[in-house]
Structure 1
Amino acid sequence: MSDREAGTPVPYMERTRHYYRALGYESDYVWAHHSDAPFAHLAKPLRASTVALITTAGPPDLSNRDARNRKHVWSGEVQNPPATFDTDVAWDREATHTDDRETFLPIDAMKRLVADGTIGALSPRFHGAPTDYSHRKTKEEDAPEILRRLREDKVDAALLTAL
C-alpha cells in the first residue's frame, strides 16, 4: 500500500492530472460530464424497487476477441457472476487491487440489502459499461444500450460501480 493512510479516499483526479503532466501533456484531461443526463427521482420507495448493478470492469474471457472489440456493453447473470474480469484498464494499482469482486461489483452486499428489506429486488442481470475515452460513443452508443437492457430487465434504479 502507498504512503496514504488506510481508509482515506484515493485522490484519483489529482493523481491523474499529475500523471498526464508527467507524460508531457500541457493541458489537463477533460473529464466527461453530461449535465443533461436524465436522472430522476425514484417513482416508488427503494424497498419496493428492483435495482441493477452496472460495472466498468470488462467482461471475463477476452481471448477470442481482438483489441478493437474489447470495449462493448456486456451483461452477466447475478446468480453466476464470473470469478475474474478483464482488468486491462487504467486503475490505481498502488492504492487498490482487483482481487475482491465486491469492490467493483457488490452482488453479495446487494443481496444482503434485499434480504433485510432495504431494496425490493436485485435484477437478475448485471451490466458492464466499457471505459472508453470517447464521450460521443459513451453518450450515443453505450448509454442507450445499457438503458435498453435495464428496461428489458424492468429495473427501477441502477447502481454504477467503477473498477
Structure 2
Amino acid sequence: MRDRQHIAHPTYLRYIDKLREYYAASGYPMPYKWVHFTDVPFTPLPKPLSECRVGLVTTAFPMSVAGAERSPKEPYAMPTDPAPDRLYTQDLFWDKDATHTDDVNSFVPLAAMSEFVAEGRVGSLAPRFYGVPTDYSARRTEQRDAPAITELALEDAVDVMLLTPL
C-alpha cells in the first residue's frame, strides 16, 4: 500500500527555478533571461465580438507528409475546413501520463468556434488557423514568428486572435 500525503492546498512546479537549474546543469554561461515587456500590445476590440472574425493560433505542428513525424518548426497556416484529424504534439510539454492530444478540438477548438459562429456569438471564423511550433527563443518569437503570424492574420482579415498553446 502506498503512503499518501494529504495536501491542504495545491502544490505547483517552480518553472523559473527548474529552468534556471536546467541551464546551469547544461553548462550555459548565463542563466536564462526571462522576457519582460513594460508595454503590452493588447487593444480593445474594434467592434462587438459578434461582428469579429476570429483566428486561432496553436503551438502544435502539422503532420509531415514526407515520412518524418513532424514538419519543421516554422510558422504556418492550415485550412479550418476541413479540420485536421491530427497535429504533431509529441515533443511539446504537456502531461502525457495524464492526458492525450488525440482530440484536436481539445487544443484547436475549431468545432466550438464554428458553433459560436452559428449561434451568432462571433462573426466568423478565419478560413485558416495558424501555428507557431514552440521554440524557446524570444528573439525568434519577436522577430520572425509573431510578424509571420500577423501577416497571415491580416491576409485573412482577422479581428481577434485566440491563442491555444500546449
Secondary structure of the equivalent of 2:139? helix
Instruction: List aligned pairs for 1:1-163, cutoff 5 A.
Output: 11=12, 14=13, 16=15, 20=19, 25=24, 31-61=34-64, 63=66, 70-87=72-89, 88-163=91-166
Deviation at 1:44, TM superposition (A): 0.2
Describe the SS at the equivalent of 2:105.
helix
Q: 1:95 to 1:75 in 2, by over 3 A?
A: same
Q: Structure 1 residues 99 and 154, CA, compared in 2 at 3 Å: closer, same or farther? A: same
Give the alignment's TM-score, normalised by structure 2. 0.77
The structure that has the greater radius of gyration is 2
Distance in 2, matches of 1:133 and 1:72, equals 13
| Over 6 Å off, 4+ runs | none
Task: Quote the Cα distance in structure 1 between the aligned partners of 2:63 and 2:18.
Answer: 28
What TM-score comes out, normalization by structure 1 length?
Answer: 0.78
- Over the matched positions of the two proteins, sequence identity in percent amounts to 41
One-letter amino acid of the counterpart of residue 102, structure 1:
N
Structure 2 residue runs of 5 or longer lacking an equivalent are 5-9
SS of the residue 1:52 aligns to = strand
Give the letter for the 1:138 counterpart. Answer: T
Tell me, in whole angstroms, the C-alpha distance in 2 between the residues paired with 1:142 and 1:24.
24
Give RMSD over aligned pairs: 3.0
